[in-house]
Structure formats: structure tokens, C-alpha cells
A and B are shown apart, each in its own frame.
Chain A
Amino acid sequence: MGEQKRTVSIHVPVLARVEGEGALDLRIEDGDITELRLRIFEPPRFFEKFLEGRHYTEIPDMVARICGICPVAYQVTAAQALEKLFGVELDPWARDMRRVFYCGEWIQSHSLHIHLLAAPDFFGCDNAIELAKIAPEEVRRGLRIQALGNELMELFGARSVHPVGIRVGGFHGAPALSRVEEIREKLRAALPEAEALIRWAAGIAVPQDDQAFVSVAMRHAHDYAIEAGTIATSDGLLIEPEVFDEHFTEQQQAHSTALFGSYRGQPYLVGPLARLNLNHERLPERVKALLDETGLVLPSRNLFHSLVARALEILLALHEALRLLDAYRVPDSPAVPVSPRAGIAIGCTEAPRGLLWHRYEMDDEGRAVNARIVPPTSQNQARIEQDLRLSLLNFGLDHADGALRLHCEKVIRNYDPCISCATHFLRMKVERG
């Protein structure tokens, strides 16, 4: 046909309406992508530096301030790291309730992402308000599920944003049985709603995309790993969190203030789809049945399956919370005594967005000498760039600019990075050659 290949330069100077500041640069010349950079330029927050000199009793509350959506992940990971170093053996009650607390966060975070951020894209809507016009019952259901997740977080954390429930050694307090009984009924009532959500999510038409990547997630001997386990990869690595540094590296890139994670020199995936790929056989039977019903074949190499993966994890979290709360008792004490000691503390859990790794060097008075936190979004950043490139080529570069932009947004949102906390964040300036 001799069709002239166009040159498109898409510069997104500010990703608006986001939690965090970033940008996307995309340049297409003669039918090829010549530049693709997801730039995160949010000023460094120096959180790790803030932690230096802080007493171990302050650390869980301080790290909870890192994220308004997943504060429990930060609290649990920090407490777990310090408890391991201090030789603290949690009471089984506290161990179970940490998992329940964490389930609350998965429920609210995943439901928020599905209904308010991701789903509108697939229905041709600009935002959740437009989605509510065509799917009001589904949006109402999503809000109910999200609210229940928040309520579960409030049960143990006193509030759902930046909760304050966790302390090194357990919890600051234990909820009364009457409150637990009340929330158990709500969890039970939510099970059919979560099942309906999975069916709805599985019925959403998503692009067909097939990419090779390594999935990385925690793995537990019996449970679907959330707050405890070892680190596993889809190419066979199985390691303790203590040696994470020997296998995973972080590098600076000139265009981003977030570090880029790599494994064996390559990008890798963390998050719900990575977890499902590696741990689906650990799902409770009822969740497995729903997974079978969706027809989703695992491991999946299509990141657009992340939405249904989140829906499945909501049902898992409801089942887990209910299972553990059915055996609830008020403990004699919500925490065990703690004596600090010097050394290296390492903790690792599965935040809603993926693997979260903490390392603290502590002195013998229980103060942090230094701290290092590896969040899921920085681990996924290189993978997002790789995915954008492959997915755009698969999608076709000759689409109109608006379609290209929307496709980029959908790809980025699959990862639910903190910078995706907006529904449509790419403002384009297009230059044609």
C-alpha cells in the first residue's frame, strides 16, 4: 500500500489526579517506538531517612503514613521484621488477627481499584460516575465491599486510613466479641456479592495480550500467602526474605525518582496476577470453584487479567477473615512483651499491589540505624515500561492518538501503581512529523 508511517510524540508532562507525580513520554517514528519512559518525578519523600534514630515502638505508626491505601501492609511488614530480630513469638491470636487485618486492606484496596479506577475503561466511561449510569448496582456493590474492608481495618486499627492498631509484639487492643460477631455477619453476607463480582469481572471483555514475564510472590506452605511466607518466582527460585538482596536489585534511572527493580537483570511482575499465577492451588475450595467458573487459565500471561485476579482475591480475603474470626476469642493480652536487640531486621509481606520488603538495622536500644523499604510499585516500574512497549505493538501503533493514550492508561492501571490512583491521567501533547 505504501502507507506513510506517521511520527507521533506523546508527552504527558504531569499525570494529573494521581497519588504521586509522574509522566509518560512516548515517541513513535516510522512505525516503531523510539522512546517510552514512565517517569516518576515525585520528590523523594526521605521516609527511610526519617526512620533513622526512631525507636522500634514508633516505627509501625510511622510507616503506616507511607500510603493511605495500604498502611496495614507497611505496619505488618515492619512489625514482622522487628519481631523476628527481637525473637518475639506472637500469640496465635495476634498472628491470626494480623492476617484478618490485612484481609480488610486487600478487600478495600482491590474493590476501590476495580470499581473506581479500572472498570470504567472497559465500559467506555471516563470515570466511575459515568460507570454508575450504566452499571449502578455493580458500583453500589463495589462500594459496599470497599466499605466492609474499611470496617475490618477499623476493627483492629481504630481507623481505616493510617490505622494505629499494630504494635511490635501484637496489637494495642483486642476488639470486643460483640463487634466481631457483628462484622462476621457482614462478611458472611458479602460472600455472594463477591462471587457475583467475580462473575461480572470475568465477563468484562479485555484485550488479548500475551507476554513472557517472571511472576514473583510470597509462598506459604498451606495458605494463600499474605502476611507470611517465603519468596517464590515463576522460574523456580524459592528463597527466604533475608536473601532478597542477593537476587533482586534496584537501580536508579535518570528519568525517575523511583528505583527500578530487576531480577536476573530483567523486569519482573509483583501483585495480584503474580500471586494468582504462583499460588492458585492454595486458594480455598470455594474460591477455586469460582476461578474454574471464570475459565481463566493459569498461569496467565495477560496483564489485563489483573482485574479478575483482584476480584478473586477479594473473595479469598472474605473467606479467610471469616474463617479466622469464626474462632475469635478475646485474648488475655493483645501483645507479648518485647525486648529489643541489635541486628538486621527483615520483613516481607504481600501488599495489595505486590511484594513489600523492609530492612532495618537496629541498635541495642531498639533504635533504627538505617532503613530500606522496597515497595511493589518500584518493583513493577520496569515491567510497566516493558509491558507498555509490547502491548502497544500488539495493539497497533496506527490507532488514533486518543486510543493509544487510553490503551497506555489501561496498561498502567493493570498494575494499580500508586500513580494510577486516578481514572484518566494522561494529558497528551501530540506532535506529528
Chain B
Amino acid sequence: MNQVRIFGIGSPSGDDQAGWLTVDALLAGGMKAGDELVIEKLDRPGAGLIALLDNASWVILVDAMQSGGQPGWIQRYGVNDWPAYCQGLSGHGFGVLNALTLARELGSLPPRLDLYGIEIGGAIPGESPCAEVRASTQKLADIIADELCFISQALPAAAGSGDDGNATFHKTIIRK
């Protein structure tokens, strides 16, 4: 297995920190980044997101969304059901879905891509995220960690396999 990358996307504005808080919760829960597992916070990466998908086997993106639902609602999207997109919170009019759509057009998507949206209320500079969003980021972190655990345990036994990549991956994501 090549690299797994988890990116929490956000900005310092109120609930828009949802992606960052999910990364914080993953790290606080004991998940450790390493050569085979990248865990990063991104601040409105624009088209730069495309380069971050290169040579990854599995990318998990967590971003805030506003779809009219209750703050804290978590939705997972596969590559074939990305939501319709009007105007994002990202700067310069080139948001996450623009970048992913362009990456798909260029054949640059990883073999597996999971996009999680956390419904938010306000994205107001200087404000703290609301309690519902905070709770959901912890919940989503648990979901992601459990899935990584499950997948890693399903991989061939690492020790002595000669596959250093799997070994590192296996060791890295066992957190509980």
C-alpha cells in the first residue's frame, strides 16, 4: 500500500474550523502521522489540493459544508456523488470541489477518495465553533480511526512480509 492521507480543510472562521478540529481529534486520540500516513490541516488550498493527491492510495478529506441542514450533520461522499456546488468558502473562487473535479478530469484522483462534509452554521472570523460542530468532529474522528483500523487489520500481516509500507501503515494507525 502506498500513502494514506487525511486532510482537514478549513479556515480560522467559526465553524469553518470543522476539518481542522477533526484532525486535532484524530491526533489527540493517538493517531500518529508517519511516512505512510499523512495527517494535515489545510487552509483553503485551492488548486494546490490536486498536487496533494499525487501518488496517494487513499485520501480522506474533511471539510465544512452548508447545505441547509442542522449544524453537526456528517455526510460522506464517494467520488461519484459529490454535492452540487454553488459558491464555496474558499478564497479566489476555486474551492475543494473545483479542485477535485479538475483532478478527476486530469485523471489525478487517487484510487480511493472519501470526502466528508460536516454541516456548519456560521463561518465568522474570530468566533469559536459551535458545540454541535465540535461534537461532530470528535465523532467523525472516531469513524475515520475505526475504518483505518479495520482496513489495516485486513491487510496481510506486516511483520516479515518484506513490505515495509504495510508494516509502517499497520503500526501507525493502531491507536486504541
Interfacial residues, chain A to chain B (CB-CB below 8 A): 16-19, 68-69, 112, 116, 127-129, 132-133, 136, 139-140, 143-144, 146-147, 150, 160-161, 421-423, 425
Nearest 3 pairs of A and B residues by beta carbon: A17-B93, A422-B93, A421-B92
Among the stretches B27-35, B56-64, B99-107, the one at the interface with A is: B99-107
B167 interfacial contact with A, CB 8 Å: no
- With A17-B87, A421-B92 given, is the CB distance from A116 to B106 under 8 Å? no
A112 to B93, CA, bound (A): 12
State whether A16 touches B87 (Cβ < 8 A). yes
Which residues of chain A are within 8 angstroms of B106 by Cβ–Cβ distance?
A: 132, 136, 139-140, 143
Residue ID in chain A nearest B101 by CB atoms: A129
Which residues of chain A are within 8 angstroms of B101 by Cβ–Cβ distance?
A: 129
Among the stretches B40-48, B112-120, B127-135, B145-153, the one at the interface with A is: B40-48
B154 interfacial contact with A, CB 8 Å: no
Residue ID in chain A nearest B43 by CB atoms: A161
State whether B51 touches A147 (Cβ < 8 A). yes
A423 to B87, CA, bound (A): 13
Chain B contact residue count (CB 8 A cutoff):
19
Residue of B51, B94, B105 touching A116 (CB-CB under 8 A): B94
Residue ID in chain A nearest B45 by CB atoms: A161
B9 interfacial contact with A, CB 8 Å: no
Interface centre among A127, A129, A160 (most CB of B within 10 A): A129
B168 interfacial contact with A, CB 8 Å: no
Which residues of chain B are within 8 angstroms of A161 by Cβ–Cβ distance?
A: 43-44
A150 to B42, CA, bound (A): 14
Residue ID in chain B nearest A160 by CB atoms: B48
Residue ID in chain B nearest A15 by CB atoms: B93
B68 interfacial contact with A, CB 8 Å: no
Interfacial residues, chain B to chain A (CB-CB below 8 A): 43-44, 46-48, 50-51, 87, 91-94, 98, 101-102, 105-108
Which residues of chain B are within 8 angstroms of A147 by Cβ–Cβ distance?
A: 48, 51
- With A133-B105, A139-B106, A147-B48 given, is the CB distance from A68 to B91 under 8 Å? yes
A147 to B107, CA, bound (A): 17
Which residues of chain B are within 8 angstroms of A423 by Cβ–Cβ distance?
A: 93
- Provide 24 A-B residue pairs closer than 8 Å at the C-beta atoms, listed in order of the A residue: A16-B87, A17-B87, A19-B91, A19-B92, A68-B44, A69-B92, A112-B46, A112-B92, A116-B94, A128-B47, A129-B98, A129-B102, A132-B102, A132-B105, A139-B102, A139-B106, A140-B106, A143-B47, A143-B106, A146-B48, A147-B48, A421-B91, A421-B93, A422-B93
Residue of B43, B48, B102, B105 touching A150 (CB-CB under 8 A): B48
Which residues of chain A are within 8 angstroms of B92 by Cβ–Cβ distance?
A: 19, 68-69, 112, 421-422
Which residues of chain A are within 8 angstroms of B102 by Cβ–Cβ distance?
A: 128-129, 132, 139
Which residues of chain B are within 8 angstroms of A127 by Cβ–Cβ distance?
A: 98
CB distance from A45 to the nearest CB of B (A): 12
State whether B93 touches A143 (Cβ < 8 A). no
Known pairs A19-B92, A143-B47, A160-B48; list 14 more (Cβ under 8 Å): A17-B87, A18-B93, A19-B93, A112-B47, A116-B94, A128-B102, A140-B106, A143-B50, A146-B48, A147-B48, A150-B48, A161-B44, A421-B92, A423-B93
A112 to B94, CA, bound (A): 10
CB distance from A340 to the nearest CB of B (A): 29
A17 to B94, CA, bound (A): 8
Residue ID in chain B nearest A418 by CB atoms: B92
Which residues of chain A are within 8 angstroms of B98 by Cβ–Cβ distance?
A: 127-129
Which residues of chain B are within 8 angstroms of A133 by Cβ–Cβ distance?
A: 105
Which residues of chain A are within 8 angstroms of B43 by Cβ–Cβ distance?
A: 161
Which residues of chain A are within 8 angstroms of B46 by Cβ–Cβ distance?
A: 112
Which residues of chain B are within 8 angstroms of A425 by Cβ–Cβ distance?
A: 93
Which residues of chain A are within 8 angstroms of B91 by Cβ–Cβ distance?
A: 19, 68, 421
CB distance from B48 to the nearest CB of A (A): 6
CB distance from A433 to the nearest CB of B (A): 33
CB distance from A431 to the nearest CB of B (A): 26
A422 to B98, CA, bound (A): 11
Interface centre among A17, A69, A112, A150 (most CB of B within 10 A): A17
Residue ID in chain A nearest B95 by CB atoms: A17
CB distance from A425 to the nearest CB of B (A): 8
Which residues of chain A are within 8 angstroms of B105 by Cβ–Cβ distance?
A: 129, 132-133, 136
Interface centre among B48, B87, B108 (most CB of A within 10 A): B48
